[in-house]
Amino acid sequence: MRFVDEFRDADKAHALAARITELCEPGRQYKFMEVCGGHTHTIYKHGLEDYLPEAITLVHGPGCPVCVIPMGRVDDAIHLASQPDTIMTSFGDMMRVPGSQGSFFDAKAAGTDIRMVYSPLDSLKIARQNPDKRVVFMAIGFETTTPSTAMTVLRAKAMGLENFSVFCNHVTIIPAIKAILDSPDLRLDGFIGPGHVSTVIGCRPYEFIASGYGKPVVVAGFEPLDILQSIYMLMMQLSEGRAEVENQYTRVVPWDGNLAALTAINQVMELRPYFEWRGLGFITHSAMRLREGFRAFDAEVLFNVPGVRVADPKACQCGEVLKGVLKPWECKVFGTACTPETPIGTCMVSPEGACAAYYNYGRMNRHRVVEVELSRP
Amino acid sequence: MTGRGANWVDEALREHEEHAAAEEAAAEEVAAGDAGAGDAGAGDAGAGDAGAGDAGAASRTAGRAGTPSDREQQVLDRIDRARRRRPRIREERITMSHGAGGKASRTLTEAVFLDAFRNPLLEPLEDAALLRVADSRLALTTDTYVVSPLFFPGGNIGDLAVNGTVNDLAVAGATPLYLSAGFVLEEGFPVADLTAIVASMQAAAAVAGVQVVTGDTKVVERGKADGCYINTAGVGVVEHDLALGAATARPGDVVIVSGPVGDHGVTIMLARGELDIEADLSSDTAAMNGMIADLLAAVPGVRAMRDATRGGVATILNEVAVAAGVGVVVEEDQIPVRTQVRGAAELLGIDPMYVACEGKLVAIVDGQQADRALAALRAHPLGEQAAVIGQITADQPGIVLLKTAFGGTRIVDLLVGDPLPRIC
């Protein structure tokens, strides 16, 4: 298949892996964080870690949109959805995210009208077809999905829709990265920068990581060769003593981002003073809400949202996993109390979550796999 | 209000603590036994709270001392034990996941149905039950069809209802003979549509060489059903002495699929029209009894056969791995997948290995007879693109490993519920 297979070529991967291994200084360990959950998914889906020398460890970062949603926001959303004459629309990933009383799937089974959509614009169609109902879109995600929510609100305003609103949970990536960099119990050698987020915000916002913290950043694409190449670029920077922001994903990411998308976000939304992140706690200026002029589409203004706060279960170590301090399997409840069937922590929900990716794809002893390989005829 | 009860997190954690304490106590008992310590000591550790707590702390410390790989293995073993516990339904209500063919369906089947009906004929949970009546061996199966939309490229619910049940009998090694058909119709359903569906059923039955010999119809009020649901049951006769079953797979066997996977599932997703994706693709619904009879006649070393429907090839291979206590290694670039299916799956972020087929055989065959099996399948029009996609191994029992086309390895687990499209 064109434009896909080229980026999954095993010969090129072997060649790149050899060059990465050559760059490893003897005795030195390297830790790189892939910020974005999409990268985590690619790494596990294609078994990319098999190509990396033991000296390099990948740490899975916080960039999984559903993984950072706190239980209280899910409870709020279910409260909104269960009001009379209400239809809630949501991306599929969100359906299994647990609140303190269960997930959207559970609420749906109990009679709440929650529908999966592929694009927020589909919610407008549903609103138009159901004029006697209120349609609330559960908006989640980083800068990748924020522009489409902003466009949807603009479209709704232009259409004069009166029964559509947004429960806005959009978050921004930079404050989360900063929180990780400021966390005392973490040691990273560099970052694989998020690809899709960067198509919107560009590469400049990462410059503080290189200049202020002395860590290299390479913005990467989502195919396995993209990620291998970005690891190679990080290793080159380290071996040459550089700390810069580089763009591996030039075929998609413009250095300055997408001005039209940024304008749409800025027109419709503004930063909240603070927002709660699952596992990371409250982070200032880390999320978006609708501006004053769009109150008519803001579910938090229109309806009585209880503002539930639910403390993360004590045994759940999502925060440490999100920060990369713990590997998924080092969490006390990993795979026993917390599984993809009954996730307690959000990292276990989405295939992009570090725990779910490891549980679904990586739950094996690689040393023994290598032995099987060797013993084969 | 919601499905799981207010204290579900606390309950899950309490259960976890109980199991952890029990395991640590057991580990301590083993350790005490090894060291030749007195019986009394081991008994105390198991029974007394304080003793068990201390033992836990000690074993945790011991665990931490190992290499990362050792510690990871301990965690994997713990998960393996957790997975072998008796399945329990945690939800208070049925969710869509219970019908999706993954882990939730499995849990429902085992915790509710198997628990109530338990008997040796049901226990293997194969596609059909094998019965001995007088001097003959019969196979009995049933399946209910609720596909939406009812008509799709390549067929309709009627074709599915006949072919699916015929295939469930055929993969059990039986020659399908007779079918029953039960209809649940919604008030207002067009008679022309029903006539078209029934005509397709008759045509499919003729191709498969079976007869529909009994039936039932119920009509429910508008809104209480989605147009038309069909249940079919089927009876077949087993005319050979092969002992087929997933549990008979053994190291050295190969895994064969009879053609490209995922056509039906992707066709249905596109036919629902929610995605605005168009592709030249149609359902693969077909009766496989002819092809399977050819295979069995040519190859005595067939161990197990499955019809790759809901849950796809991945689910079947997991069932084989667990039932036989073997490992399965699959090579991604050997799995036949049409370009259209790959493309749609890429766009949607789903894996063709989990997508339903309605006329694809997965066979586990003695490795020595792999070539004969391939030849027999390829000689039949439905099996022209048959391929060996993997093998059964002794290592990593219960686990399906995939060698990715990219050259890495990963696990292929059961899905939790329906594959959910990823947002970005």
From first to last of its 424 residues, chain B has per-residue pLDDT tens of 445 666 777 877 787 788 778 777 777 777 666 554 444 444 343 333 433 334 444 444 444 446 767 777 888 888 878 777 777 787 788 988 888 878 888 889 999 999 999 999 999 888 899 999 988 999 999 999 999 999 999 999 999 999 999 999 999 999 999 999 999 999 999 999 999 999 999 999 999 999 999 999 999 999 999 999 999 999 999 998 888 999 999 999 999 999 999 999 999 988 887 777 788 999 999 999 999 999 999 999 999 999 999 889 999 999 999 999 999 999 999 999 999 999 998 888 889 999 999 999 999 999 999 999 999 999 999 999 999 999 999 988 999 999 999 999 999 988 876 666 555 4
| Helix/strand/coil percentages in chain B, nearest 5 | 45, 20, 35
Distance, in angstroms, between B329 CA and closest chain A CA?
A: 10
- Chain B residues lying within 8 Å of A78, measured CB to CB: 2
Q: Which chain B residue shows the shortest CA-CA distance from A197?
A: B424
Element holding A322 (H helix, E strand): helix A318-323
Query: Does B320 lie at the interface with A, CB-CB under 8 angstroms?
Result: no
Residue A275: predicted pLDDT: 95
Residue B49: predicted pLDDT: 40
- Chain A residues lying within 8 Å of B107, measured CB to CB: 341
Distance, in angstroms, between B281 CA and closest chain A CA?
A: 16
- Residue showing tokens 């075929």: A251
pLDDT at A43 over 70: yes
- What lies within 8 Å, CB to CB, of B275 at 6+ separation is A118, B269, B348
Phi-psi region of A257 (alpha: psi -120 to 50; beta: other; left: phi over 0): left
Across the interface, whether the CB atoms of A46 and B423 are under 8 A apart is answered: no
The Cβ of residue A27 has, within 10 Å, a number of other Cβ atoms equal to: 6
User: What is the number of helices (H) and of strands (E) in chain B?
Assistant: 13, 14
Paired sense of beta strands B400-403 and B409-411, if any: antiparallel
**String of DSSP letters for A248-295:** S-TTT--TT--HHHHHHHHHHEEE-SEEEETTTEEEET-BEEE-GGGG
Across the interface, whether the CB atoms of B396 and A368 are under 8 A apart is answered: yes
Q: Which of A67, A336, A352 to mutate to test the interface with B (most CBs of B within 10 A)?
A: A336
Distances (CA, A) of B333 to A12, A226, B399, B413: 16, 20, 19, 18
d(CA A128, CA A132): 9
Give the bridge partners for A137, in sequence order.
Answer: A89, A166
